[in-house]
Structure 1
Amino acid sequence: MGARLLFVAALTLGVSGLAAAGAAATGAERCAVDDLERRVCLEAPARRLVALSPGATELAFAAGAGERVVAVVAHSDYPARARKLPSVGDYNRIDLEALVGLRPDLVIGWVTGNPEEQLETLESLGTQVFYIEPRTVEGVAGTLKRIGRLAGSEATAEQEAEAFLDGMEKLEARYAERDPVRTFYQVWDAPLMTLNGEHLIGRAIEACGGANVFGDQPRLVPRLDDEAVLEANPEVIITGSDEESMDNDWLGHWRQYPNMAAVAEDNLYTVPADPLVRPTPRFLQGAQSLCERIDQARPGSGAE
């Protein structure tokens, strides 16, 4: 760590100390338990937040704390206002000097995405880090509420969380009685990867009446080969793609296997990637697209 960073850190700690002293007198302490099961407390609602993943950025805005976000990382493109915020690097490599210089009173970190050593350095300098990684529908709602608690925007966060839960409940009810469809969701091509049933997307497949052909795999993100997919013989293959182009060459790879059910029935589909892969309220939108594709592949159902 350079002398300049240490100087900025010392300045930050000094400012934070003054703020904490003032807040202590008001008795406005805010606490929440993060996804590392640590109790994180602020002397007052956060006023300067930094979000270290695109998903964390979306969650902060959805929780009503968007006006308090002072920096994000690359690819934080939703909502549109987030694109105008300064970036402190990529989710897997943070510019600590730039981040500390912004004097945040709360950093929202990503449990398995951000570099552990960098976040530990931030904490050693006195910066509060709130770790998140929601993996269930309830987890997304709970994360919204916890961010709202720390930012003092509880009412907005509560409303957004309840709307999200209600939407997901209605979606699941809509497809609950439909025949299962053997589903393969491809997340990468080289190496070939999918998601098991514990992943949020895996849970969405189940909510849509799909049967994840690799749902029982022990790894959250299993690595596969073509032979494993051929043996599973999915009735539909789905992958995420850029919302603007919706082009994806990965699906074309499977056409060399005309006897596989998904290829024989031409059930090879893309869905917009970002709403589905980011654990935010927009996941409802992504799950709706996923359900529509699975339903297209359901014998006797067709597109609605």
Structure 2
Amino acid sequence: MKHLIALLAIFVLPAHAAVSATDDAGHLVTLAQPAQRVISLAPHATELLFAAGGGKAIVGAVEYSDYPPAAAAIPRIGNNRQLDLERIIALKPDLLVVWLHGNAERQLAQLKKLGIPLFYSEPKKLADIPAAITRLGSLLGSEAVAHSAAQDYRQKLERLTRHYSGKKPVKVFYQVWHKPLYTLNNSHIASDAIRLCGGVNVFGHLPVTAPTVNAESVLAANPDVIIAGSDDRRSTELEMWKRYPTLNAARRQQLYTVDSSLLSRSGPRIIDGAAQLCTRLDQARKAQTP
């Protein structure tokens, strides 16, 4: 009789158990079953979802969701400033992965009123990425893939941490854009990468996450190296600093670019951007040697 009861219990259990995870806003997100139709509202979130094993579940994504290559085929539903709400609703998502401080709050409020679960994502430190992957894996029902990706990332982070621990400090100016000239403070994850490599962000103390600065303030800070977040379309944005021979970074020819999609996005590839950055800072250290 006991065996019969146990057998009957198997058939009355739901096909999928509820899943839950806590997001970066501290909210517990619970789904009746693993997410099957996900919309990503930030490029870094798209990368995290793919790493967590949820690429096939993404039915919509914002502009610039360009990695991995398969992301190019995902339908676009706007950008971080303006979302196509009608398109989002038509796609019938069971989960939205949202950039905590990057998406339009008014539009997010409208989506939330419709009862669509929102998972807020904004890793602040390099060490936050593995947990971001595994939490999304929990909501996707792809825990094994997510844990493997998280472990691979942790190993890369541990190797970099061991190698660059105790390195001589190097003053860094991280140039996000040159017209207008602006940078990032210590609250941004790119500054955590600078710290990992033994760098000191010369504007890390400023209160705004992405503050505007001017050439005079950069000259006064006199960084040892200038790193520009760049891509193939922005190969000349460091040229302006060659006009200032008294600037340490210019005088020692320590002007470098790092792929901005690697270093500025809070996704799993940031560890590769950090590795590139660390190499550049090592070159700047060697240039300081008499």
Q: TM-score, length-normalised on structure 1? A: 0.87
Residue correspondence of structure 1 range 7-156 to structure 2 within 5 A = 25-26=14-15, 28-156=17-145
Counterpart-to-counterpart distance in 1, 2:234 and 2:127: 32
Describe the shift of the 1:138–1:37 C-alpha distance in structure 2 as closer, same or farther (beyond 3 A): same
Measured against aligned partners, the alpha-carbon deviations of 1:63-106 in whole angstroms (never above 9, x if no partner) come to 00111111111111111111011111122211111111111100
Measured against aligned partners, the alpha-carbon deviations of 1:2-31 in whole angstroms (never above 9, x if no partner) come to xxxxxxxxxxxxxxxxxxxxx994561111
* Pairing 1:248–2:235 present: yes
Select which of 219, 235, 239 maps to 2:208.
219
Name the residue aligned to 1:293: 280
Describe the shift of the 1:246–1:174 C-alpha distance in structure 2 as closer, same or farther (beyond 3 A): farther
The CA deviation at 1:32 is: 1.2
Name the residue aligned to 1:257: 244
Contact 2:252 2:287 in 1 (8 A): no
Measured against aligned partners, the alpha-carbon deviations of 1:259-298 in whole angstroms (never above 9, x if no partner) come to 0101111111111111111111111111111111111111
Contact 1:246 1:272 in 2 (8 A): no
Q: Which amino acid aligns with 1:152?
A: G
Counterpart-to-counterpart distance in 2, 1:133 and 1:206: 19
The number of residue pairs the alignment matches comes to 278
Counterpart-to-counterpart distance in 2, 1:246 and 1:292: 23
> 215-224 or 201-210: which moved more?
215-224
Describe the shift of the 1:301–1:28 C-alpha distance in structure 2 as closer, same or farther (beyond 3 A): farther
Q: TM-score, length-normalised on structure 2? A: 0.91
Describe the shift of the 1:151–1:301 C-alpha distance in structure 2 as closer, same or farther (beyond 3 A): farther
Counterpart-to-counterpart distance in 2, 1:24 and 1:95: 38
Q: Structure 2 stretches of 5 or more lacking a match?
A: 1-11
Q: Which amino acid aligns with 1:104?
A: P
Describe the shift of the 1:127–1:247 C-alpha distance in structure 2 as closer, same or farther (beyond 3 A): closer
Counterpart-to-counterpart distance in 2, 1:131 and 1:215: 25
Describe the shift of the 1:230–1:301 C-alpha distance in structure 2 as closer, same or farther (beyond 3 A): closer
The CA deviation at 1:222 is: 2.4
- Identity of aligned pairs, percent? 43
Describe the shift of the 1:261–1:24 C-alpha distance in structure 2 as closer, same or farther (beyond 3 A): farther
